[in-house]
């Protein structure tokens, strides 16, 4: 083959020994080589697509069910004897009744409803019956009653979460066979669940709480949601944007348009490129040392997370911005300068607007990679159980929060099998955000891109 490639035509042919139109051995080999190469390429694409396919399939098959949740619906009479022992309807007095009291009220109401509908509870003890209601329910009811004390002595229809194992039964994760060996659920409870479903007390509906609720403890996987994580991620992205764009764009404009080319600017350039390649965990260590221990910012807060992620995102944004500024043809600058614009006017009236699509795309891609980052957050206390929503900005930036990828990680290490579904569900939400951001970047680029 090499002979054919380097010496295609034997020197000087007295007579044409072969024609290009007549296939010979050398040409056959070259064509075969090309065919093989195409096959390798196709195989490579097939492998990567199938890996992607397997990954997406496993995530979606595990995670889609987290968007649906089993709920029990039954009437509850908010007896003032139980909930307001002092009898004066004052909120302060009523706070003394804990969720344990509310739990008993719910169980009693549930049992009464079963009796009223004539559903047999054969083989299910009272304790097991109580355990079919999520441990989250009493807290929800308590918050509701304390929020509006005028509801006392009324009968309201409560729709509360069913326990995680019951939910798992409706989703096919828990079966009669696993229940035999499971210490937390019995087959009789599952049979009762079947009867409840026929009686329309138990049903499954879209789980908005998965997107809005805060995290929940290991005992109530059914109540765990992404609310705090989504808010935390949103706060961090907002702050990263506010911090990175001005600094990144200013740096790039200065380096591209104003800075003299000397050893110092070379050094700065090399350092920026190197920073982009630093492993993200290093920024976490830096963040802990500088922002928390030295500057005294609160632990687990989105502001510290955002500062750390900004350090990581800045080089990406600077590199993208510089290349899009460089792509603006010099003729534009020359024309502007030629009609008497100052250097500053040239940059801000002509170069920057033309470079904007590239800057936006770079920024969005930088943000997308920051959104998926977990390692640096590990060290600044954001991999935590946070049950309270951060308050509204600006104070909310100081409140503890988690982030989406962090929530995936902490759910994946919980003991209850129901958290596997939650973890995959959180990955789906994260993927949706990433796809939206990347698609926005592509649309912006398509819409504003100019070819010279």
Partner 1 sequence: MKFAKFAASALAMAAAASAADARDQVQITGSSTVLPYATIVAEAFGENFDFPSPVVEGGGSGAGRKKLCEGVGETTVDIANSSSRISQGDLDLCATNGVAEVMEVRIGYDGIVFASDVNSQDFAFTPADIYLALAKDIAKDGALVANPNKNWAEVNANFKDQPILMFVPGTKHGTREVFDTKVVEAGCKETGAYDLFAAAAEGDEKAKKAAAAKACMELRTDGVSVDIDGDYTETLARIDADKNGVGVFGLSFYQNNTDKLRVATMGGIVPTVDSIAKGEYPVSRPLYFYVKRAHLGVIPGLKEYIEFFVSDDMAGPNGPLAAYGLVSDPELAATQKMVADETPMGALN
Taking the complex as a whole, how short is the minimal distance between the CB of residue 139 and partner 1, in angstroms?
A: 4
By the rule CB under 8 A, 193 interacts with partner 1: no
By the rule CB under 8 A, 398 interacts with partner 1: yes
By the rule CB under 8 A, 63 interacts with partner 1: no
Taking the complex as a whole, how short is the minimal distance between the CB of residue 266 and partner 1, in angstroms?
A: 26
> Hey, what are 134's tokens?
């999520």
Phi/psi of residue 54, nearest 5 degrees: -60, -45
- Tell me whether residue 215 or residue 256 sits nearer to partner 1 (CB atom): 215
Write the interaction track for partner 1 spanning residues 21-60; mark x where CB under 8 A is met and - where it is not.
----------------------------------------
First-to-last CA distance in the chain?
42
The C-alpha atoms of residue 166 and residue 172 are separated, in whole angstroms, by 10
The C-alpha atoms of residue 228 and residue 206 are separated, in whole angstroms, by 19
By the rule CB under 8 A, 303 interacts with partner 1: yes
Identify the CA nearest to 19 among candidates 27, 29, 11.
Answer: 27
Taking the complex as a whole, how short is the minimal distance between the CB of residue 426 and partner 1, in angstroms?
A: 15
The C-alpha atoms of residue 235 and residue 250 are separated, in whole angstroms, by 23
- Tell me whether residue 62 or residue 113 sits nearer to partner 1 (CB atom): 62
- Tell me whether residue 358 or residue 400 sits nearer to partner 1 (CB atom): 400
Do 364 and 358 meet the contact criterion of CB atoms below 8 Å apart? no
127-186 residues near partner 1, rule: CB under 8 A? 135, 138-139, 142-143, 174, 178-179, 181-184
Q: Which residue has the tokens 């035999």?
A: 180
Identify the CA nearest to 430 among candidates 384, 373, 378, 360.
Answer: 373
By the rule CB under 8 A, 347 interacts with partner 1: no
> Hey, what are 161's tokens?
């979460």
The stretch among 14-22, 69-77, 277-285, 409-417 that binds partner 1 (CB under 8 A) is 409-417
81 CB-side CA count, 13 A = 3
The stretch among 58-66, 260-268, 290-298, 327-335 that binds partner 1 (CB under 8 A) is 290-298
The C-alpha atoms of residue 278 and residue 286 are separated, in whole angstroms, by 12
Do 192 and 39 meet the contact criterion of CB atoms below 8 Å apart? no
The C-alpha atoms of residue 6 and residue 225 are separated, in whole angstroms, by 66
Most distant CA atoms of the chain, gap in Å: 119
- Tell me whether residue 136 or residue 373 sits nearer to partner 1 (CB atom): 136
Handedness of CA 95, 100, 106, 112 (dihedral sign): negative
Taking the complex as a whole, how short is the minimal distance between the CB of residue 204 and partner 1, in angstroms?
A: 22
By the rule CB under 8 A, 354 interacts with partner 1: no
Count of residues engaged in binding partner 1, rule: CB under 8 A: 54
Taking the complex as a whole, how short is the minimal distance between the CB of residue 175 and partner 1, in angstroms?
A: 9
- For partner 1, the binding residue among 54, 85, 388, 443 (CB under 8 A) is 388
By the rule CB under 8 A, 400 interacts with partner 1: yes
Between β-strands 155-161 and 202-206, what pairing exists: parallel, antiparallel or unpaired? unpaired
By the rule CB under 8 A, 254 interacts with partner 1: no
* Residue 75, beta-bridge partner list: 157
Taking the complex as a whole, how short is the minimal distance between the CB of residue 174 and partner 1, in angstroms?
A: 8
222-241 residues near partner 1, rule: CB under 8 A? 239
- Tell me whether residue 361 or residue 410 sits nearer to partner 1 (CB atom): 410
* Residue 160, beta-bridge partner list: 72
- Tell me whether residue 77 or residue 178 sits nearer to partner 1 (CB atom): 178
Identify the CA nearest to 260 among candidates 249, 270, 271, 268.
Answer: 268
Q: Which H or E run includes 203?
A: strand 202-206
By the rule CB under 8 A, 415 interacts with partner 1: yes
Residues of this chain that interact with partner 1 (CB under 8 A) are 95, 98-100, 135, 138-139, 142-143, 174, 178-179, 181-184, 216-220, 239, 242-243, 245-246, 250, 292-293, 296-300, 303, 381, 383-388, 394-395, 397-398, 400, 410, 412-417
């Amino acid at each position: 083959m090499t002979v054919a490639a380097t010496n295609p035509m034997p020197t000087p042919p007295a007579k044409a020994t072969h024609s290009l139109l007549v296939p010979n051995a050398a040409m056959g080999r070259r064509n075969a080589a090309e065919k093989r190469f195409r096959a390798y390429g196709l195989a490579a694409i097939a492998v990567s697509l199938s890996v992607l396919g397997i990954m997406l399939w496993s995530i979606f098959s595990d995670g889609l069910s987290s968007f649906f949740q089993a709920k029990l619906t039954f009437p509850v009479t908010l007896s003032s004897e139980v909930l307001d022992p002092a009898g004066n309807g004052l909120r302060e007095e009523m706070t003394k009744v804990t969720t344990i009291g509310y739990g008993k009220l719910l169980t009693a109401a549930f049992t009464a409803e079963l009796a009223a509908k004539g559903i047999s509870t054969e083989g299910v003890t009272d304790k097991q019956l109580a355990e079919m209601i999520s441990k989250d329910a009493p807290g929800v009811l308590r918050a509701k009653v304390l929020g509006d004390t005028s509801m006392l002595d009324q009968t309201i229809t409560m729709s509360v979460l069913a326990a995680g194992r019951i939910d798992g039964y409706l989703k096919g994760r828990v079966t009669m066979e696993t229940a035999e060996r499971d210490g937390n659920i019995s087959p009789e409870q599952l049979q009762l669940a079947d009867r409840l479903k026929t009686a329309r007390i138990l049903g499954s509906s879209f789980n908005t709480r998965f997107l809005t609720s805060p995290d929940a403890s290991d005992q109530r996987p059914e109540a765990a949601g992404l609310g705090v994580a989504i808010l935390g991620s949103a706060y961090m992205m907002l702050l990263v944007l506010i911090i990175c764009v001005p600094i990144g764009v200013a740096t790039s404009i200065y380096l591209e348009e104003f800075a003299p080319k000397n050893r110092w600017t070379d050094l700065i350039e090399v350092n920026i490129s190197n920073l982009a390649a630093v492993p993200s965990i290093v920024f976490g260590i830096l963040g802990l040392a500088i922002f928390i221990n030295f500057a005294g910012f609160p632990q687990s807060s989105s502001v510290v997370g955002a500062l750390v992620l900004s350090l990581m995102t800045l080089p990406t944004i600077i590199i993208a911005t510089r290349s899009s500024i460089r792509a603006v043809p010099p003729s534009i600058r020359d024309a502007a300068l030629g009609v008497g614009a100052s250097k500053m006017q040239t940059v801000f009236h002509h170069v920057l607007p033309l470079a904007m699509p590239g800057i936006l795309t770079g920024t969005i891609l930088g943000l997308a990679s920051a959104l998926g980052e977990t390692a640096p957050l590990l060290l600044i206390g954001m991999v935590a159980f946070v049950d309270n929503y951060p308050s509204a900005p600006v104070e909310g930036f100081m409140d503890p929060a988690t982030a989406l990828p962090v929530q995936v990680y902490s759910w994946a290490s919980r003991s209850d099998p129901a958290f596997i579904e939650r973890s995959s569900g959180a990955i789906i939400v994260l993927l949706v955000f990433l796809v939206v951001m990347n698609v926005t970047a592509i649309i912006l680029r398509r819409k504003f891109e100019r070819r010279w």
